[in-house]
Structure 1
């Protein structure tokens, strides 16, 4: 078939370059050959990060153990509940979170707003994890911090460039080593000094006392900043195989565990971080919030320093590489996605791999780790507003009110540019909660800004859907192809169609009719600068 030359070569290159990981597009069945358990293991490899230990340590040392545990529980409950519908949608329909967001209340261009939020999450946490790895290299090998920051940035580039195939192999093979190095010393500590657990539970912290709702909410606000982690889990979950009668148990178990279930592991790590910080605070002082010092203090209890230090370095390097390849990978996807939609030009995902890493390196050199909790407390409000808005649209507007279209839509021309349901809900939730955080409504309510962000998004999303009568979800209801995109069970159809622009074959959910005749794939339509292939509106 001849290639349509009405689109620039960039559009054709975009189609070819994104076939490895189906950047910016639906992940086809022909590519999704991994078993559910392999996808889940790969996704969970990204939660090997050590920042949870630092977050838990900061909360525990400040507010005391009881308040810290309550804060972690509150945050974990909210994150799990809101992450469930997103993870299900990603695994069922094989879309990343940006594609889901487009059709779940934000519109084709409206979701660029949330892509920026998620992109910020990826380089903030890359910088956080990179700083921890640099601390490990400094302690174990004497590498200066500035050089350690550079090493942690450069080391992930080869893995990220090669995409899902390389990432899945790396995550699966390193997980057993990571678990042994992580769990072994903790088990030893509890076994030899069980009394330390009781002392830790009675610890009141520098600003503590008994159970205090304000302290719990302040601590939960820090932990809730991790809500956007579901976006990184989804970047792997979109490669789940179709759900069938034969695999439905393992499919659901994998989705629950690797989707919202990531927070269960995260909560355990945060609580452990609070415990380790308490245990070594008298020795390490202010450095007790640094995971490197936490594990070094435990390892040195039963190993000579000559062995303890290298093992800590290995643990830190494995942990940080496992998460930072995910941060860099997800960041490159979301920045590429936004840039391509806005400019209709595709510069290549690897350009944004390097750009994302450059920003993270600047943050590390600026010592962002020193004020991590302050950054996360502020960032939490925007992350919560986004995730809860999308989750509410899926769970309430799609399945309860049936106003939002049940099946996902992400293609240009099928969606309105902006949907006020998601955009206004997000802005109201983020704006009001951030104002609360900075004391606009008085100091008494400031600690409750994360909960306010949850409630505002949860109420505003269905309310706006009702008020607008769902008029701004779909620009068209027919994509011009007779065959449905989903079969009777709701599984994406795998019939292949040839794109008139790039001459590549794509499965049914990723194509639609061109206004010039024939079929066009979603990404070639995205890079159509003339708009001549976009179907006219019918609603």
Structure 2
């Protein structure tokens, strides 16, 4: 990445920047780059759900609260995650921007969404550490690699893949998926077929803390742990933003891919959690220890039909493939969100690679600190903030954009077009997460504490329309037009692919990423506006009513 300093002292991305490496961080993903078909994008996105933490989560819930309570809790969480993930997945795939950019225009404002970017960035390194710890356990069990060295290996191995972004990740996810499916599904299928009675015994298991009865408190405690994965939709849409433009010809495949790889990720996720609860119960009867570790779970099943010399390598290969598939996604999404946050706050663009390394360094520290030992507690607390963010954005999209029509239908993310802070999202997020965390820590009594996830979901769903009505939607847009006569979207709603040359970085970008430059009678790209430290490229504030037409600026095909 090179930079050049303009006359006004602002630092911008230079003409030699490689957007193949940067993967259009902070930008709209242009049509000329989105060359993958809907099924390939969906397969790449779903490759990230190969992670084995679901098995640990399910095992922990099942052992603590019993099978029926665990299954109900997993189902409740899955329903909430699917419902809130659907509008978010659609908006990111439809407008080819990531969740942070959607969040800016869905109630948070240009700087207000920094709050949620920190939440999502934390998600990526927490789960990288979780998945990396599982992979290190597999390396230790199968190859005798010390855990501290295993943590380091799991961190370093993803760097080359993540640096090259979607181009490399799409190949990795597509080619490894068949191997992963075979190694994971085959042993579980064998177990069910060879010992069907174990399923009935598992369904009657009451758990370490239960008495065999259905308990609302136990259900919601389990759901709270599972709901910590709600922020996974952010990683799914980091890939879905590369969906091709929807057309009448590809509409069916486009919708199937968006639903399957967007909110649909939770269906196999819930099945894995239920399977983890089953395997933990089964292996508990065989070994009695460490049944929440996925490598131990699968090793216990592999040993039923394969000799030890084969069972151990199979378990190790499953763990390594699964964890590599998810951790490249964790590292990739983390690099995007931290780059996004740092660039807005500092108005400097250091490049995505810097934050690939930074995110991995934090994850490595967490692994070395043995975060896996208190995983359930970390996830239960974290889920309150993750739910507050995701549900707030989903509520704004569904209720404020389409029902009340107080939020602009088309998501806006560019600096100068948005107010710095929008109280609709910020207030809703802070109130929702604050109340649910207070409930979680027993501020309203121990009997209410298990219901903190429901508090987070309900408050985050209802607060955005209430605040939007109070503020009458005045804090969404700073301007209603970007000063360029050509619309950003055509009559069919597809992004216009006319190329404009940014007069600052002298690169060509498609119409949705461009704005007029008020002081140079030219156009400027969104990233150069983001890094404009003097504000000379920033359009003046203008109400929607006062915004008027502007003469077309030069374009080139």
TM-score when normalising by structure 1 = 0.98
**Residues 1:201 and 2:203 aligned together:** yes
**Residues 1:383 and 2:424 aligned together:** no
In structure 2, what is the Cα distance between the partners aligned to 1:15 and 1:9? 17
Kept in 2, the 8 Å contact 1:4–1:502? The answer is no
Kept in 2, the 8 Å contact 1:4–1:501? The answer is no
1:30: which partner in 2? 32
2:501: which partner in 1? 498
User: Structure 2 matches for 1:95-114, cutoff 5 A?
Assistant: 95-114=97-116
> Which residue, out of 406, 413, 417, partners 1:414?
417
What's the Cα RMSD here?
A: 1.1
User: Structure 2 matches for 1:367-378, cutoff 5 A?
Assistant: 367-378=370-381
User: Structure 2 matches for 1:162-181, cutoff 5 A?
Assistant: 162-181=164-183
In structure 1, what is the Cα distance between the partners aligned to 2:245 and 2:9? 35
**Residues 1:218 and 2:221 aligned together:** yes
Structure 2 CA distance for partners of 1:235 and 1:8, relative to 1, 3 Å: farther
Residue by residue over 1:66-85, the C-alpha shift from the partner in whole angstroms, topping out at 9 and shown as x without a partner, is 00000000000000000000
In structure 1, what is the Cα distance between the partners aligned to 2:8 and 2:271? 51
Unpaired runs of at least 5, structure 1:
none
**Residues 1:394 and 2:394 aligned together:** no
1:527: which partner in 2? 531
In structure 1, what is the Cα distance between the partners aligned to 2:491 and 2:470? 31
In structure 1, what is the Cα distance between the partners aligned to 2:7 and 2:525? 14
Residue by residue over 1:426-452, the C-alpha shift from the partner in whole angstroms, topping out at 9 and shown as x without a partner, is 000000000000000001110000010
Structure 2 CA distance for partners of 1:445 and 1:243, relative to 1, 3 Å: same
Moved more, 207-216 or 228-237: 207-216
In structure 2, what is the Cα distance between the partners aligned to 1:19 and 1:159? 13
CA drift of 1:283 comes to 3.1
User: Structure 2 matches for 1:58-207, cutoff 5 A?
Assistant: 58-207=60-209
Kept in 2, the 8 Å contact 1:234–1:259? The answer is yes
Unpaired runs of at least 5, structure 2:
544-557
1:300: which partner in 2? 303
Q: SS at the partner of 1:236?
A: helix
CA drift of 1:162 comes to 0.8
Kept in 2, the 8 Å contact 1:513–1:520? The answer is yes
Residue by residue over 1:196-248, the C-alpha shift from the partner in whole angstroms, topping out at 9 and shown as x without a partner, is 00000000001112110000000000000000000000000000001111111
1:451: which partner in 2? 454
**Residues 1:425 and 2:428 aligned together:** yes
Residue by residue over 1:275-325, the C-alpha shift from the partner in whole angstroms, topping out at 9 and shown as x without a partner, is 000000133333100000000000000000000100111100000000000
Kept in 1, the 8 Å contact 2:139–2:316? The answer is yes
In structure 1, what is the Cα distance between the partners aligned to 2:8 and 2:123? 34
In structure 2, what is the Cα distance between the partners aligned to 1:69 and 1:410? 39
CA drift of 1:5 comes to 2.4
> Which residue, out of 462, 467, 473, partners 2:465?
462
**Residues 1:361 and 2:364 aligned together:** yes
1:537: which partner in 2? 541
In structure 2, what is the Cα distance between the partners aligned to 1:18 and 1:337? 15
2:17: which partner in 1? 16
In structure 2, what is the Cα distance between the partners aligned to 1:142 and 1:295? 18
In structure 1, what is the Cα distance between the partners aligned to 2:203 and 2:13? 60
Q: SS at the partner of 1:150?
A: helix
2:280: which partner in 1? 277
In structure 1, what is the Cα distance between the partners aligned to 2:422 and 2:525? 23
2:46: which partner in 1? 44
In structure 1, what is the Cα distance between the partners aligned to 2:11 and 2:383? 37
Q: SS at the partner of 2:350?
A: coil
1:5: which partner in 2? 6
TM-score when normalising by structure 2 = 0.95
Residue by residue over 1:330-355, the C-alpha shift from the partner in whole angstroms, topping out at 9 and shown as x without a partner, is 00000000000000011111111011
In structure 1, what is the Cα distance between the partners aligned to 2:455 and 2:317? 41
In structure 1, what is the Cα distance between the partners aligned to 2:497 and 2:433? 39
